[in-house]
Every structure is written in C-alpha cells, then in structure tokens.
C-alpha cells in the first residue's frame, strides 16, 4: 500500500512512522509512506498556501490552488505507476468518525492520499472537487490534521495483510467483532497476591477461547453497550 500525506508541517510526521509495527511494514515493503510539503506548491516565493476567509472572521483558510496543484501532481505520479488514488481523504473534525470498520476497509486499498488541514481548514471547493472521504478521529479539535493523519495511518497500516507477525492477532483486537478485547496477563502467575485466572493456566484452548469471549462480552456490556446495539 502507498500512503501519500500532504501537510504544511512534515516535521510532525517524522517520528510516528519510524518505530514498531509501521517501521516493520515499511521494511517489509508492504507499506510506503511519503510525506509531502504543501509549500512546494505555494502560490508565491514566500511560500504562501493560506489566505483570509471571505466573509470575514478570524483564522486563515488553506488556498485551493496549492492543494489542487499538489493533488494533481501526486495523482500524476500514481498514474505513472498505472494506478489512481482509491481515496483522497481529508482529516477534519466534521468528517466521519474513524472506527475499526473504516480502518479495515481502507487497509484493503492500494493508494491513499491524506490531506492534513490547518488553520480554519481547506477551501470548500477542494472538498467538493477532489476529496472522496472525510475522516475525524474524534469529537475534539486538534491544531492540525497531522496527528489525526498519523492515527489513521497507524490504524490502517497494522491491518495490511502480512504486517503483524502473528496475523491472527488483529482478529482479536478490540472492536474487530464490535467487542472490546478481553483482559490479558503475563508472568508472574501470582503478583503480590493477585492471581491470573485459573482457566488461562489450564492449557485447554477451547476453555480459554470461551472464557475470553465471555470476558469480551461482559466487558463490552459494561463499558460500551452501544457497540452491542450496533452489531450488524
């Protein structure tokens, strides 16, 4: 999978993809992440990519021209590889709220472009003419879309087939079945008097599987009953 990210703050995205699972995904060549500085497509030599909003009001808006030129240039590069973007995603608090289902769907795509907004956001015409999907990572406002893009990329990247060592492990993540994950334990079996549940020491895979499922269900009922209501 190839993920291109368009931003005015590429420095913010240097570290998140250089460790752990995403680092391994890149090393295995299952994932390529390219971070592009929007200022390459600035409208003048001062690097301008934003301007005052029509109608007045505080805060700048990201101009359509640099964004359109950037999207077209990057789309051209993808086209040169015989492909096109499966989705052009704009990170914004008024987008669809990210969940595991969206991450699963996007992890099966080949080419994604993620646009990070800044200031008051991007000109509406870019949203209408180029963006195919708008995603929020939660009901709060960040200073920019970069951290949201990092969250989305991480959530997608770890689901790409072959990325996780033990491929089945993503199957048991919280949310995969609209259920939260069961509790986990490691050594020692007795930590200051608190014991690991007996069943986990039984060596009986069926019993352990049933226990985990029951725990998931009760945990979900207690903390996130809304997930059970949403079961499809």
Ramachandran sector of residue 94 (left: φ over 0; alpha: ψ -120 to 50; beta: rest): alpha
Stretch that binds ligand ADE, among 44-52, 91-99, 178-186, 203-211 (CB under 6 A): 91-99
C-alpha 41/C-alpha 61 separation (Å) is 15
Q: Where does this chain touch ligand ADE (CB under 6 A) — which range of 32-40, 88-96, 183-191, 201-209?
A: 88-96
Between 17 and 220, name the residue whose CB sits nearer to ligand ADE. 17
138/162 with CB nearer ligand ADE: 138
Find the largest Cα–Cα distance for the chain.
69
- Strand order of the β-sheet with 2-7 is 32-37, 2-7, 111-116, 87-97, 133-136
Closest to ligand ADE by CB, 2 vs 136, is 136
Minimum CB distance to ligand ADE, residue 96 (Å) = 10
Q: Rounded to whole angstroms, how far apart are CA atoms 150 and 155?
A: 9
Residue nearest to ligand ADE (CB): 148
How far is it, in rounded angstroms, from Cα 130 to Cα 216? Answer: 41
Per CB under 6 A, the list member of 31, 74, 93, 180 interacting with ligand ADE is 93
Cα 54 from Cα 64, distance rounded (Å): 13
For residues 193-232, which are near ligand ADE according to CB under 6 A? Answer: none
Binding string, residues 100-119; x marks residues near ligand ADE by CB under 6 A = -----------------x--
Find tokens 């930590």 and name the residue.
191
Binding-site ranges for ligand ADE (CB under 6 A): 91-93, 117, 136-138, 140-142, 145, 148
């Amino acid at each position: 999978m190839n993920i291109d990210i368009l931003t005015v703050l590429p420095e913010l995205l240097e570290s998140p993809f250089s460790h752990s699972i995403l680092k391994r995904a890149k090393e295995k060549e299952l994932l390529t992440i390219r971070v592009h500085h929007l200022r390459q497509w600035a409208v003048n030599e001062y690097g301008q990519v934003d301007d005052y909003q029509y109608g007045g009001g505080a805060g700048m808006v990201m101009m359509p021209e640099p964004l359109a030129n950037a999207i077209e240039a990057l789309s051209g590069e993808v086209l040169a590889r015989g492909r096109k973007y499966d989705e052009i995603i704009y990170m914004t608090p008024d987008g669809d709220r990210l969940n595991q289902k969206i991450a699963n769907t996007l992890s099966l795509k080949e080419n994604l472009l993620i646009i990070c907004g800044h200031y008051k956001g991007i000109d509406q015409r870019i949203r209408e003419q180029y963006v195919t999907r708008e995603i929020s990572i939660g009901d709060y406002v960040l200073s920019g879309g970069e951290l949201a893009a990092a969250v989305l990329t991480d959530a997608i990247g770890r689901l790409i087939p072959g990325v996780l060592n033990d491929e089945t492990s993503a199957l048991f993540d919280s949310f995969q079945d609209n259920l939260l994950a069961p509790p986990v334990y490691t050594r020692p079996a007795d930590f200051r008097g608190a014991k690991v549940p007996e069943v986990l020491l039984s060596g009986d895979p069926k019993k352990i599987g049933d226990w985990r499922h029951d725990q998931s269900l009760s945990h979900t009922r207690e903390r996130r009953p809304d997930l059970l209501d949403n079961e499809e």
